Amino acid sequence: MIRAFSALLARDLKLAARVGGSGALSLVFFLMIVVLVPFALGPDLNLLSRIGPAILWLAAVLATLIGLDRLFQSDEEDGSLDLMTGAALPLELVVLAKVLAAWLTTGLPLALASPLFGLLVALSPKAMGATALTLALGTPALAFIGAVGAALTATIRRGGLILAIVVLPLMIPTLIFGVSAAEAALGGTVPFTTPLTVLTALSLIAAVVGTLAAAAALRWSE
């Protein structure tokens, strides 16, 4: 079972690295949004540094959507999903392996690159660290919530838009606590750890509910 799990994880990481994989693309998309905001708002450094964590979080939510529609759809189209139904591995673990691979190629690079992109919106070093930490803890929630939408739209051709409409409202709590945790680190009445703990809890809940829900959606896709 462990062997099947790691084989699936390794295959998805390999596919993301090959031509047509979406790993690097979502990072570039993240950069694009962060670059566009200062152009739109003008060179007001105080304003930028105040809303910087919110911009980075919004960009992360949108970047997560890139390539999400192909998470299960590509396997559904070429029959790999039929192969996985017959694997010595429950469908829940199949979902877990695929989402883990997706997070390692999109969510984690976003969190790691966020201090660098924070420079573009004039974040202080402390804010950069706090935003990177909240992204690292919060992006798993985005990935698992997205997986449910991806599983529901796996059999729909060009389901990217409907997927975004389904999952974006579900990502609001994660966005709220992610941004408030990053801002709490810069001062305020709420201690940093309170929203951070809630954010981590959201990720853990999404991991359980998202895995079960996505597997159920894939199982009864017909």
Indicate the residue among 40 and 88 with the shorter CB distance to another protein.
88
- Residue 21 CB, nearest distance to another protein (Å)? 8
Give yes or no for residue 173 binding another protein (CB under 8 A).
no
**What DSSP letter does each residue of 74-115 carry, written as one string?**
HHHHHTHHHHHHTSSS-HHHHHHHHHHHHHHHTHHHHHHHHH
91-105 vs 70-78: helix axis angle to the nearest 10?
A: 130
Tell which positions 17-56 bind another protein, by CB under 8 A. 18-21
Among the listed ranges 28-36, 63-71, 78-86, 207-215, the one in contact with another protein (CB under 8 A) is 78-86
- Residue 20 CB, nearest distance to another protein (Å)? 6
Tokens in use for 154? Answer: 């796996």
Q: For residues 38 and 49, give the distance between their C-alpha atoms in angstroms, rounded to a whole number.
A: 10
Give yes or no for residue 79 binding another protein (CB under 8 A).
yes
- Of 35, 41, 78, 172, the one binding another protein (CB under 8 A) is 78
Q: How far apart are the first and last CA of the chain?
A: 26
- Residue 17 CB, nearest distance to another protein (Å)? 9
How many residues bind another protein (CB under 8 A)? The answer is 26
Torsion of CA 8, 14, 17, 20, to 10 degrees: -70
Q: For residues 212 and 195, give the distance between their C-alpha atoms in angstroms, rounded to a whole number.
A: 26
- Of 28, 36, 41, 77, the one binding another protein (CB under 8 A) is 77
Chain contacts with another protein (rule: CB under 8 A): 3-4, 6-8, 11, 14-15, 18-21, 77-80, 82-89, 220, 222
